Amino acid sequence: MFSVMGWVLECIIESVNHRRPINRGFLRGPYIPIYGYGGVLFALVGIPLRTAFPNTYLNIFLVFFVGMSLATLLEYITASLLERVFKKQLWDYSTLKLTYKFTYKNRISLVSSLFFGLCSLFMSYFLYDIVDAFTLSFGFYTLVIINVLMVLLMGTDMFIQVHKQENTKKFIEKLSQEQLKEMLQKTLIQMGGTRQIREFREFREKSEALLKNIPNDIKNNIKSVNENINKNIKNVNENIKKLKGTPKK
């Protein structure tokens, strides 16, 4: 349930950011497993901290801070492992307007960490009790069947996506440079429409023009420096001649 909630949350954020519907997550199904682990982590840590000390405000701070720290650590470790396995970054906080300034290796962000702290409070003091009551409304054997089905579904989904990544990697290695450029342009168009591809082309044209002008600028600067040096040498020679022609006192 937490994995599904996380998927819904990310789809909403990304869709609002890009102004079009976006299906988030590495898997095909409507779930993001890291949110499931995070939700269970909030429950295991946050629930005991609600009554850990007599001071209510201290307990609230601990739920917020510990939840934020553990969620950030979980996110960073997961990002590092997935990047090693799939050789690419599965999420990048530098692409969001709210998070691009305060990030570390684009895997974790200060804004997202603070948000996870708020999620820890919301989970521990409100959401977990509702989820717990809903889950316990099912019978034991019904829960076992649901769990087995979800494990099979998500496991099969994961296997298919990993296998697809390997096939995609082998396919790309066989493509020529022109074919890769064509695929990249089509992908950019699908991701952001013609405006992004036009901006990319304009940036490329400006970069190429700038690179073409660099040799000319260097030649002009060298020519100007040489002229200044020759002019200074000429002035020095004239001054030396004047000094030689001056009668000694």
152 located within any domain: no
Evaluate whether residue 156 is within a structural domain. no
Is residue 154 assigned to a domain?
no
61/183 same-domain check: no
- Looking at the fold, whether 125 and 206 belong to one and the same domain comes out as no
Interatomic CA distance for residues 142 and 147, integer angstroms: 9
Residue with the bigger pLDDT between 42 and 185: it is 42
pTM above 0.85, yes or no: no
Contact between 34 and 10 (Cβ < 8 Å):
no
Predicted confidence at residue 234, as pLDDT, reads 76
Provide mean pLDDT across the span 28-42: 88
Q: What is the pLDDT of residue 21?
A: 82
Q: What pLDDT, on the 0 to 100 scale, is given for residue 210?
A: 65
What is the mean pLDDT of the segment spanning 8-21? 84
Specify whether 42 is located in the same domain as 131: yes
Could you tell me which residue, 242 or 82, shows the higher pLDDT? 82
Same domain, 114 and 184: no
As for how many domains the chain has, the answer is 2
Structure tokens at 86: 């799939």
- pLDDT bracket for residue 26 (50, 70, 90): confident
What token pair was written down for 59? Answer: 């307990």
Residues 126 and 184 in one domain: no
Grouping H, G, I as helix, E, B as strand and the rest as coil, residue 103 is strand
Confidence of residue 148 (pLDDT cuts 50, 70, 90): very high
Q: What is the pLDDT of residue 168?
A: 62
pLDDT at residue number 197: 57
Is the pLDDT assigned to residue 121 strictly greater than 90? yes
